[in-house]
Amino acid sequence: MTSAHAVQTPPSRVPFYLSILVAFHIAIVIASNYLVQLPINLLGFHSTWGAFSFPFIFLATDLTVRLIGKVEARRVITRAMLPALLASYAVGVLFHEGHFNGWDALQSFNSFVFRIALASFAAYALGQLLDIQVFDRIRQKSRAWWLAPAAASIFGQALDTAAFFSIAFWRSTDAFMAANWMEIAMVDYVIKLAVSLLLFVPAYGMVLAAIVRSLRVSAMPAAAR
């Protein structure tokens, strides 16, 4: 695995990476906001399908900090926030309760879906900014490639989960979520953390190593390849 020191990304590639990352963040937020409306039962505990999709964002954010820096990672968050909020609301209304409700559904305001989208907006901003700060601080002090993404996931996803579920479902009009949101939040956090530590932290290492190799090959003179 590559070390924890900085990777020199060609400046010409930064705008391309930013565009891809912003689109990726928006897509995952939209998918997660829809999937969080679909409850599942895991070994007797209540959770949602959103627990399996959202860790993708933390993987992307950590790679962004590692490759092009903390400032650019924050720029991705800033650019993705508002489009993700609007798109999440639209998709949530159109597919509320797991089925297509028709385009006419957009003509009336859905306060339940908007609350979920707004909660996601706040949780996304808080969780990602904390993730960036923790990741950047640790990667500068440790040569262990896995320590920064692992610690960032633990703290970032804790804040994200607490903010999202408390804002979205405390005294919600959805009786099931209003009664079970704390249990669901705790199970959701455990699932997301397990997925992140067991799957996405190793994936971070493999993807980073592949990108570093690609950048080094691109930087080599053609005759030396």
> How do the domains of the chain map onto residue ranges?
14-219
- Going by C-beta distance under 8 Å and a sequence separation of 6 or more, which residues neighbour residue 194? none
What is the model's pLDDT at position 220? 57
Buried b (16+ CB within 10 A) or exposed e, 175-211: eebeebbeebbbbbbebbbebbbeebbebbeebbeeb
Long-range pairs for 12-21: beta carbons < 8 A, 24 or more residues apart: 14/68, 14/72, 17/64, 17/67, 17/68, 18/68, 18/72, 18/75, 18/76, 18/79, 21/60, 21/64, 21/76
Name the band, by pLDDT with cuts 50, 70 and 90, for residue 5.
Answer: very low
Span 183-205, average pLDDT: 88
Name the band, by pLDDT with cuts 50, 70 and 90, for residue 133.
Answer: very high
User: Which is more confident, 6 or 190?
Assistant: 190
Look at residue 225 and tell me whether its pLDDT is greater than 60. Answer: no
**Using one digit for the tens of pLDDT, what is the confidence trace for 83-101?**
988 988 998 898 887 788 8
Tokens of 37: 């409306």
Name the band, by pLDDT with cuts 50, 70 and 90, for residue 4.
Answer: very low
- Going by C-beta distance under 8 Å and a sequence separation of 6 or more, which residues neighbour residue 84? 25, 26, 29, 30, 120, 121, 124
pLDDT > 70: what percent of the chain?
A: 91
Decide if 2 contacts 208 (C-beta within 8 A): yes
What is the model's pLDDT at position 45? 75
- The Cα 81–Cα 86 span in angstroms is 9
| Element at 37 (helix H, strand E) | none
What is the model's pLDDT at position 218? 63
Name the band, by pLDDT with cuts 50, 70 and 90, for residue 135.
Answer: very high
User: Which is more confident, 16 or 10?
Assistant: 16
User: Which is more confident, 128 or 15?
Assistant: 128
Please give the DSSP secondary-structure letter assigned to residue 170. Answer: T
Please give the DSSP secondary-structure letter assigned to residue 11. Answer: G
Decide if 169 contacts 177 (C-beta within 8 A): yes
What is the model's pLDDT at position 163? 95
Average pLDDT, the chain: 84
Tokens of 169: 């479902």
CA distance to 63, 116, 131, 133, 208, per residue, from 137 (Å): 14, 31, 10, 6, 18
- Going by C-beta distance under 8 Å and a sequence separation of 6 or more, which residues neighbour residue 18? 68, 72, 75, 76, 79
Name the band, by pLDDT with cuts 50, 70 and 90, for residue 152.
Answer: very high
- The Cα 120–Cα 126 span in angstroms is 10
Look at residue 44 and tell me whether its pLDDT is greater than 60. Answer: yes
Span 186-208, average pLDDT: 87
**Using one digit for the tens of pLDDT, what is the confidence trace for 106-124?**
999 999 889 988 998 899 9
What is the model's pLDDT at position 8? 59
